[in-house]
Structure 1
Amino acid sequence: MKILLLSTYDFQGGAARAAYRLHQGLQSINVNSSMLVQNKYTDDETVIAPSTKLSKGFAKLKPNLDKLLLQLYPDCNRQFSPQWYPDAIAHKVSEINPDIINLHWVNAGYLKIETLAKFKKPIIWTLHDMWAFTGGCHYNQECDRYTKSCGACPQLKSFKEQDLSNWIWKRKANAWKNLNLTIITPSRWLAKCAESSSLFQHYPIEVIPNGIDIRTYKPVNRQVARNLLNLPQDKQLILFGAINATNDRRKGFHLLQQALKILSANYNDKIELVIFGASKSANTLALNLKSHYFGKLSDEISIALVYAAADVFVAPSIQDNLPNTIMEALACGTPSVAFNIGGMPDMIEHQKNGYLAQSIDGKDLAQGITWVLEDSERYRYLSNCARKKVEEKFTLEIQVKHYLNLFNKNYKKQNRYFYA
């Protein structure tokens, strides 16, 4: 059985990392797996990408080409994907001739909406956000129009029913009528959203969490980790990390700022902030708190070391699926604090391996951080439970087993129909 994973990137961003980890996990049990990507960042020979100078250059242009239609909506949220530009993916897939196609995050101009109907194989689509069943947005921000047919899109700042979001929704509805499609969501929350959508409510939906290599992400002696990273030994370190961490409002950095201002008033001489995924920004200058920036870390050993060096990881997102960062932190024995939204409750058990703030504000977030840090005996319990949670629910081996079962099920069904 030959598996082909489609992803815009192989190692750029959380969705790509999750897809690549799955690819590696399948290969580790001798499954014939390959990836087809638009932009390649690894040197893995089983990752197929544009190879000529011209095709590589064009691949880098495609995200901007896809955004051209957004010029009609100058005040819109730029996290919006029309996926209208022609591609040659169907031809490449045909050449590879897989038995199962596993889609992941395929935006930034990679895969045109209508291309899915050209695949003649079973499609397993792993959703990493809401785009697949909306009129173009990646997170709905409390709008429920995706349950109907979109239009008058708040993120486009549009009041017209026949707007870009409605056009995109109609394209999906027309092109995806008769797909051999199964949906996978990493979180229970995203599964419920997909089930309530007008586009996917009739397709089978499975919840399979992402998995990580717990041999890479593991507890490390905190003193050693801090020595290697040149971090202070006598402070409690609060860690925050996300790509474009301080610029994407959905990631909640503004709420973390509120929480840290509250904490700095009482604990300024005891706590410091560590940020990865972003370079030093003017956004933090208002904080009376010393901060350490690690920018974008590309290798997983360095990332795991940062988690191990921290006392608590904070994910202040106001809407999110199943962020890798929480899972990685817990695997390193670092308790985590987040809001009780999206896929957070799938990973964080309130006051067992972290803290789930109920109110979406900085005050409750600060309370959660304080609760995690204030009692050393309780902290050891939280740390042990954090690691145990990942060992029991989120290993790569567990994820691969579930995927392989689903791949086999669809492969057998396809062949039964073919030979009938």
Structure 2
Amino acid sequence: MDILKVVHLNTYDGNGGAGRACVRLNRALTDQGIESKVIVHYKFGKNPDIGDFNTNLLQKGYIAATIILERILAKRYLKALKTPFSFAWFGRSVIHHPDVEAADIIHLHWVNHGFLDPKHIAEIAKLKKPVVWTFHDSNAFTGGCHVRYTCDHFKNECGNCPLLKNADPDDQSHKIWKQKRAAYDVLNFNIVAPSAWMQKSVKESSLMKGKTVEQIPNTLETDIFKPMDKSLAKEKAGFPKDKYILLSGFMPSRKDMHKGTSYLLESLELLKERLGAKARNIELVVFGNRNTEDVPEFPFRASFLGTIGDDERLSVCYAAADAFLIPSLEDNLPYTVMESLSCGTPVIAFTTGGIPDMVKHEYNGYLAEYRSSESFANGMEWMIHHTDRERLNRNARQTVMEKFSEEVIATRHIELYKHILKI
């Protein structure tokens, strides 16, 4: 084998955390001399280096229709909760694509929204090639949900799903669970868990018994997401230089459980009470909001940047902030945390999911007690009054360079590939 060939399969090309992780890993592997390619189910962008399975506009239109149809049909079965859940109604064959046929390793990423249903996952076994699958959320080992919260049904056989309108032991979640079990009996694959939390969850899953799971984090472009002088960055971002800037990512409505908006609002109210007159020195900046019609009322002056599609611009915003807030209640290895740290900006978050893999308490940020608004407020207050902010900023960047840089993560993947191929 002269050059190792890896093909990455993902539903989308770079939008969403999984898509970004897939594209970033591909770049990191290419920089290390690996022949690495990304092929997607539906391509939004125009990057010529990313391939897709659709050969014409008619086919692409059909795929778009199935993605939309799945969401519409799902409403008949799901309760009115904003917890993501995928059904296995649509799928497509990938085994005849020339890049898939030529690959030494097939690396799966996020494969929902009508891409790889259990039947077509099992079909990959016909190629007799090693398969690696990075679990960017919990869906691969549940009966449909992507975020589990306190539900532990995945440890046995899913059923009586708390997300379904008509839950019973043989409901849709149990049927999907059985389909996945049948597929995984056919296809052997090696699992990559980006966080210790995900690795632990995989080991607890009944569907993953006997599977090999390796913990390897995601990576990012450390040459783009990098520190800047705070004053210069604030000027470039258009933030007031005389304010302490609290930055936060996508801000959904108060009802969205997954992102923990209600806890952030409560903690900001507490912070304002504690700071008194000094509260006027604080400003909240939010990016990623799709509109300003459904955003909550904040106790501090708040500005909304909308979706930022340019990573250079996003990097400047991170670097300009004094602290990054993420009140998420469950996340695998959220990119916003890694990006902020890489730009030298400490993070305040709940102790949940894979966040503790990145944020070290009172070293490069603050880990608040889970679902405690008071603890989250403590974190903001601690950071605002910290006597050596520069040290926090340096620690943030150093964490990323030591644990998540492109070279480090690419090397770990290459070692895994070579181990699987016995070369």
TM-superposed deviation, 1:304: 0.7
The 8 Å contact of residues 274 and 293 in structure 1, kept in 2 or not, is answered as yes
* Residue aligned with 2:289, SS: coil
> Residue 197 of structure 1: which of 205, 222, 239 is its match?
205
Instruction: Name the Cα RMSD after superposition.
Output: 1.9
Separation (CA, whole Å) in 1 of partners of 2:338 and 2:99: 36
The alignment status of 1:399 with 2:404, answered yes or no, reads no
* Residue aligned with 1:91, SS: coil
Residue ranges of structure 2 left out of the alignment (5+ in a row) = none
Q: Counterpart of 2:235?
A: 227
* Residue aligned with 1:154, SS: coil
Q: Counterpart of 1:339?
A: 350
Q: Counterpart of 2:118?
A: 113
Measured against aligned partners, the alpha-carbon deviations of 1:194-229 in whole angstroms (never above 9, x if no partner) come to: 000001121000000111221111111122222222
Query: Matched residue pairs, number?
Result: 412
Q: Which amino acid aligns with 1:220?
A: M
The 8 Å contact of residues 252 and 294 in structure 2, kept in 1 or not, is answered as no
Separation (CA, whole Å) in 2 of partners of 1:63 and 1:188: 31
* Residue aligned with 2:59, SS: helix
**Structure 1 residues 59 and 273: alpha-carbon distance in aligned structure 2, compared to 1, 3 A threshold:** same
More displaced stretch, 80-89 vs 19-28: 80-89
5 Å-filtered alignment, 1:19-418, equals 19-49=22-52, 50-67=54-71, 69-77=73-81, 79-92=84-97, 96-119=101-124, 120=127, 121-242=129-250, 248-265=256-273, 266=275, 267-375=278-386, 377-412=387-422
The 8 Å contact of residues 69 and 82 in structure 1, kept in 2 or not, is answered as no
TM-superposed deviation, 1:243: 7.6
More displaced stretch, 198-207 vs 45-54: 45-54
The 8 Å contact of residues 241 and 315 in structure 1, kept in 2 or not, is answered as yes
Q: Which amino acid aligns with 2:377?
A: A
Measured against aligned partners, the alpha-carbon deviations of 1:233-286 in whole angstroms (never above 9, x if no partner) come to: 111011111385867421112211111122233343011111111144345453
* Residue aligned with 2:325, SS: strand
The 8 Å contact of residues 62 and 110 in structure 1, kept in 2 or not, is answered as no
The alignment status of 1:15 with 2:23, answered yes or no, reads no
* Residue aligned with 1:38, SS: strand
TM-superposed deviation, 1:92: 2.4
The 8 Å contact of residues 252 and 295 in structure 2, kept in 1 or not, is answered as no
The 8 Å contact of residues 183 and 203 in structure 1, kept in 2 or not, is answered as yes
Separation (CA, whole Å) in 1 of partners of 2:253 and 2:390: 28
Separation (CA, whole Å) in 1 of partners of 2:33 and 2:214: 24
The alignment status of 1:4 with 2:12, answered yes or no, reads no
Separation (CA, whole Å) in 2 of partners of 1:68 and 1:362: 35
TM-superposed deviation, 1:68: 5.0
The 8 Å contact of residues 313 and 337 in structure 1, kept in 2 or not, is answered as yes
Separation (CA, whole Å) in 1 of partners of 2:9 and 2:296: 41
Separation (CA, whole Å) in 1 of partners of 2:356 and 2:317: 23
Measured against aligned partners, the alpha-carbon deviations of 1:150-169 in whole angstroms (never above 9, x if no partner) come to: 00000114431110000000
The 8 Å contact of residues 279 and 293 in structure 1, kept in 2 or not, is answered as no
TM-superposed deviation, 1:76: 4.9
| Identical-pair percentage | 36
* Residue aligned with 2:185, SS: coil
TM-superposed deviation, 1:93: 6.1
Measured against aligned partners, the alpha-carbon deviations of 1:72-121 in whole angstroms (never above 9, x if no partner) come to: 42525461111221313233267643111101111111111211111121
* Residue aligned with 2:29, SS: helix
Separation (CA, whole Å) in 2 of partners of 1:187 and 1:399: 13
TM-superposed deviation, 1:39: 2.3
Separation (CA, whole Å) in 2 of partners of 1:54 and 1:262: 54
TM-superposed deviation, 1:301: 0.7
Separation (CA, whole Å) in 1 of partners of 2:10 and 2:282: 39
More displaced stretch, 66-75 vs 78-87: 66-75
Separation (CA, whole Å) in 1 of partners of 2:280 and 2:163: 42
Separation (CA, whole Å) in 2 of partners of 1:249 and 1:336: 20
The 8 Å contact of residues 233 and 316 in structure 2, kept in 1 or not, is answered as yes
What TM-score comes out, normalization by structure 2 length?
0.93
Measured against aligned partners, the alpha-carbon deviations of 1:326-376 in whole angstroms (never above 9, x if no partner) come to: 11111111010101111111111101111001141221111101101112x
The 8 Å contact of residues 245 and 278 in structure 1, kept in 2 or not, is answered as no
What TM-score comes out, normalization by structure 1 length?
0.93
The 8 Å contact of residues 333 and 383 in structure 1, kept in 2 or not, is answered as yes
Q: Which amino acid aligns with 1:29?
A: Q
Q: Which amino acid aligns with 2:401?
A: E
